[in-house]
Structure 1
Amino acid sequence: MPDQRKTVLITGCSPGGIGNSFAREFHAKGLRVFATARSRSVLADLEALGIETLDLEVDNEESVTKARREVERLTGGGLDVLVNNAGRNYTVPAMEAQQDEILKTFEVNLFAVVRMCQEFAPLLIKSKGTIVQLGSLAGTMPFVFGSIYNASKAALHSFSDSLRLELEPFDVQVLTIITGGVRSRITRTERFLIDDSLYAPIQEHYDRRVKFSQEGAMPNEAYAASVVGSVLKEISRHERRRKWSTWLFGSSTITSGLGFYWRQTRAWIWEGNGAWKVWFAHRFAPKWVLDYFMYRKFGLNLLRADVEKKASLSGREKAASTTEAKKDE
């Protein structure tokens, strides 16, 4: 008998991360889960629960195509939910970012997501499915020393917003999760300032920033439970509204706007430590509030004071030197 469960494919499911918790939560909710990692051998904990696993390197076109073909074979050609969870962090000052690291960050956080959406679109369209994008608070504010990562996530948000409208005629839903601090493996890579860095005077603040997302972070199990619950609720709402839309509004030019409005569900879901504070600031506070918070939080005000102090000392030294030179004359 064919498996009647809704299907979900999740990228980046290695143990200890958000994707692993997503796989467990969707499985607990009764969905058929395809959990992926660069090597499925690391996913034994999920296989023990009865979760199906696949090899998938999101930044490798051949690997993505192979995974799509396997899912197509296993499901009969459809996919209900695609969760683009795999991501890469890069926390360095903008003026110290290395070109190869910039490309790697955008490759995983944006280009690979585009590739996944393109590859799995036929399966999602067939199922009138849902794409879930893992965004970040970093893509909505000036999270200092993370400009490259921030930019990659802001680009993902923008891509997803446009994708949401482009896939609407096919009844494919796109949800972006604006993620705050969540306990995960994202800060596992050590980062360091370069020699003679402009930011050496605030080295301690930079070091704190590298691991900052893990301070007071929401447990990834709790995060996954909340996000999966919200996603399934939005999917259910979308299905109900889609069914009623044509009956209520038809497809005429006059009523199409009403039908479009009726079918809309949430575009962004905010979750994780600090998410609602940033949402509130975005909605009700002037932009400078977040700017100033970030400026002081990671010691840029102290750096400015240090720069001004050095400039003042240099100025006095030059003045004293000029005075001595005139005396010698």
Structure 2
Amino acid sequence: MAKSVLITGCSPGGIGHSLAREFKSRGFRVFATARKAETISDLAALGIETLSLEVTEEKSIQALHDEIASRTNNSLDYLVNNAGRNYTVPAAHVDMEEIRLTYETNVFAVMRLCQIFTPLLINAKGAIVQIGSVAGIIPYVFGSVYNSTKAALHSYSNTLRVELAPFDVRVVTVVTGGVRSNIARTERKLPRDSIYLPIEENYNKRLTHSQASGIPNEQYAASVVRQLLASPKKDHIWEGGKSWLVW
């Protein structure tokens, strides 16, 4: 029987989309999610099972759990928490609602998913795969909110790894460097009275820095899945442009 994997955040052009294709190419039964399943119909055409998920809504997560459990007889081999939100704004100008949304997506949603899917993962002696970032280890300028969400994710995952080890459930953190994806496409502008206007050009470059130094997301996905399945098993996988500088 094929092993199963659930991947969040599989919109076209992103890491999750390529991860879904890579797992499928290796014979996995893949469940790919996006806010609207119809946006990933190309994955469905490959035989991937596509489902809608709003990661910030607990009812949506619970409904997804119930659907996966019914299709897999209460078992899940891999949960890949990939859905994420970027927010690159100077700390002096951050918007509290944007902070809340970023934490809801990058931290709280992951905690909910791990909690709700843990019984299925225990049944399969499976693994949780957290898509982290080098930004959670070496923070980048103007990324105080995003950096802190990834640092929180790493710390949470380190603790979760210890707590689930007695049940033979692995927790793997992927420390991601630059990857060419759609995460940096949100347009940001400095306020016209910003104290950073003298270096606005530097700020604008920072917005897309990860893309300029990034590797193709297909290359990233192939390497991550290969390392995830290889022996000996790793607690951390370092992949993406310049990730080796941190490692």
Whether TM exceeds 0.5 here: the answer is yes
Cα shift readout 1:11-59 (whole Å, capped 9, x = no counterpart): 0001111000000000001110000001100111101111111111111
Equivalent residues of 2:213, 2:242 under 8 A apart: no
Partner of 1:253: none
Aligned pair partner of 2:30 in 30, 33, 52:
33
1:229 aligns with 2:226: yes
1:109 aligns with 2:77: no
Secondary structure of 1:41's match?
Answer: helix
TM-score by length of 2: 0.98
Q: Which protein, 1 or 2, shows the higher relative CO under an 8 Å CA cutoff with sep ≥ 6?
A: 2
Give me the whole-angstrom Cα distance separating, in 2, the residues matched to 1:46 and 1:99.
35
Partner of 1:269: 237
1:75 aligns with 2:75: no
Aligned pair partner of 1:16 in 3, 13, 16:
13
Give % identity.
59
Aligned pair partner of 1:132 in 114, 125, 129:
129
Secondary structure of 2:128's match?
Answer: strand
CA RMSD of aligned residues (A): 0.8
Secondary structure of 1:167's match?
Answer: helix
Structure of greater Rg = 1
Give me the whole-angstrom Cα distance separating, in 1, the residues matched to 2:137 and 2:47.
37
Between Structure 1 and Structure 2, the one with more strand by share is 2
Aligned pair partner of 2:115 in 110, 113, 118:
118
- The count of corresponding residues between Structure 1 and Structure 2 is 247
Equivalent residues of 2:228, 2:234 under 8 A apart: no
Give me the whole-angstrom Cα distance separating, in 1, the residues matched to 2:70 and 2:185.
36
Aligned pair partner of 2:152 in 145, 148, 155:
155
Aligned pair partner of 1:145 in 139, 142, 153:
142
Partner of 2:175: 178
Cα shift readout 1:276-315 (whole Å, capped 9, x = no counterpart): 0121xxxxxxxxxxxxxxxxxxxxxxxxxxxxxxxxxxxx
Secondary structure of 1:5's match?
Answer: coil
Q: Output the amino acid matched with 1:31.
A: F
Q: Output the amino acid matched with 1:276.
A: W
Partner of 1:44: 41
Give me the whole-angstrom Cα distance separating, in 1, the residues matched to 2:70 and 2:139.
44
Structure 1: gaps of 5 or more residues? 238-264, 280-329
- C-alpha displacement of 1:216: 2.7
Between Structure 1 and Structure 2, the one with more helix by share is 1
Aligned pair partner of 2:246 in 275, 278, 295:
278
Structure 2: gaps of 5 or more residues? none
Secondary structure of 1:14's match?
Answer: coil
TM-score by length of 1: 0.74
Give me the whole-angstrom Cα distance separating, in 2, the residues matched to 1:272 and 1:214.
11
- C-alpha displacement of 1:74: 0.3
Partner of 2:200: 203
1:65 aligns with 2:62: yes
- C-alpha displacement of 1:142: 2.5
